[in-house]
Structure 1
């Protein structure tokens, strides 16, 4: 069960604007494996049609581009995302044209690839929830392109040992051997976790899911 989901949904609902002003976008940030997706999905479900989810992971660079850049061994690092494209999409969902459905990409874990146009954000949506590791990263272009598009950012806090075991299990579930999964988590995912750790201090709210 996701803790505090009713309170978080009420907080999100309170940000919705009835005057036709920009649609609020709430970010959910935290290190890899913290439970951002689970929390975001629970809040969207609790809002019962008023919200849509637009994950940052849809802006992963494709593997072909990572090979060109020589970055396949660090897939998931900040520079392996299209941060400018993500910021532009958030700007669109904040201020859509009348009647417009905005289509966002998703990340298909079975393929380990982004899929364009997979997530509709309809004109009737009052709040957009987005989640990802780097929403509070104090580095360019994230700090100037992504953070200004977010009305609030909530940080998901969880015990590191629990988080690491979740990550290993996830990688195994999607095809890695247990030893390869552990090696990837401790080398790549944990490097990303250390990089985003200071974001907790910049969050508007800390949600402790322990």
Structure 2
């Protein structure tokens, strides 16, 4: 796996070059569904904590549109595509993180398939905020504005066949039958993965699995 010491050491070298006079720095962790963004982000948080830095992780998934809204837009089957997120709300949060103190952010509960408001507290004294999500470098209207706020962007590069294996394991875990899981992967997850691979802006660091 890519969450090894060498990768984190490389990231740390980049972080040390960032301006020292900034209140706190934003690190984006980008990748396809199943690329391991959450695991990587939490391991990076632990690594930086050992270096005596205060950090927090925020997931873009907290800005999923509610299923009722997706149903009204005929987008429920495409949940997870970039059209199914509140990009304006997410961009507003990112802007606030640059200049405000204690901030509350939403969290997505996968078991309940719902976003929970004000579930993560971003305290004033943090050194780094790690933000993980599929579309943090997406070159689409409004989404492309996010890149200017990243002090360091990291793309997790995983082979598409490996992604399919991980996603199958994920959806089986959440109670889907194998046929249901394969249909979901083919009709949604892989389409979203291709969108990320083909239409993302260049990251500062690319880490291959």
TM-score, normalized by the shorter chain, greater than 0.5: yes
What SS is found at the alignment partner of 1:175? coil
The structural deviation recorded for 1:54 is: 0.8
The structural deviation recorded for 1:198 is: 2.8
TM-score (norm 2): 0.90
Show the counterpart of 1:102.
103
User: Contact 2:29–2:37 (CA<8 Å) still a contact in 1?
Assistant: yes
What SS is found at the alignment partner of 2:193? helix
CA separation in 2, counterparts of 1:37 and 1:54?
9
1:87 aligns to 2:68 (yes or no): no
What SS is found at the alignment partner of 1:47? helix
The structural deviation recorded for 1:47 is: 1.4
The structural deviation recorded for 1:195 is: 0.8
User: Contact 1:8–1:43 (CA<8 Å) still a contact in 2?
Assistant: no
The structural deviation recorded for 1:18 is: 4.2
Matches within 5 A, 1:49-198: 50-96=54-100, 100-144=101-145, 146-198=146-198
The structural deviation recorded for 1:202 is: 0.8
Show the counterpart of 1:31.
32
CA separation in 1, counterparts of 2:34 and 2:167?
5
Show the counterpart of 2:41.
40
User: Contact 1:17–1:23 (CA<8 Å) still a contact in 2?
Assistant: no
1:7 aligns to 2:6 (yes or no): no
Residue 81 and residue 200 in structure 1: after superposition, are their counterparts in 2 closer, same or farther (change >3 A)? closer
Gaps of 5+ in 2: none
Residue 201 and residue 58 in structure 1: after superposition, are their counterparts in 2 closer, same or farther (change >3 A)? closer
The structural deviation recorded for 1:204 is: 0.9
The structural deviation recorded for 1:46 is: 1.2
Residue 5 and residue 76 in structure 1: after superposition, are their counterparts in 2 closer, same or farther (change >3 A)? same
The structural deviation recorded for 1:121 is: 1.0
Residue 15 and residue 173 in structure 1: after superposition, are their counterparts in 2 closer, same or farther (change >3 A)? farther
The structural deviation recorded for 1:12 is: 6.2
Give the CA RMSD over aligned residues. 1.8
User: Contact 2:155–2:206 (CA<8 Å) still a contact in 1?
Assistant: yes
The structural deviation recorded for 1:9 is: 5.3
Residue 204 and residue 179 in structure 1: after superposition, are their counterparts in 2 closer, same or farther (change >3 A)? same
CA separation in 1, counterparts of 2:106 and 2:141?
22
What SS is found at the alignment partner of 2:139? coil
What SS is found at the alignment partner of 1:84? helix
User: Contact 2:155–2:203 (CA<8 Å) still a contact in 1?
Assistant: yes
Moved segments of 4+, more than 6 Å: none
Residue 191 and residue 95 in structure 1: after superposition, are their counterparts in 2 closer, same or farther (change >3 A)? same
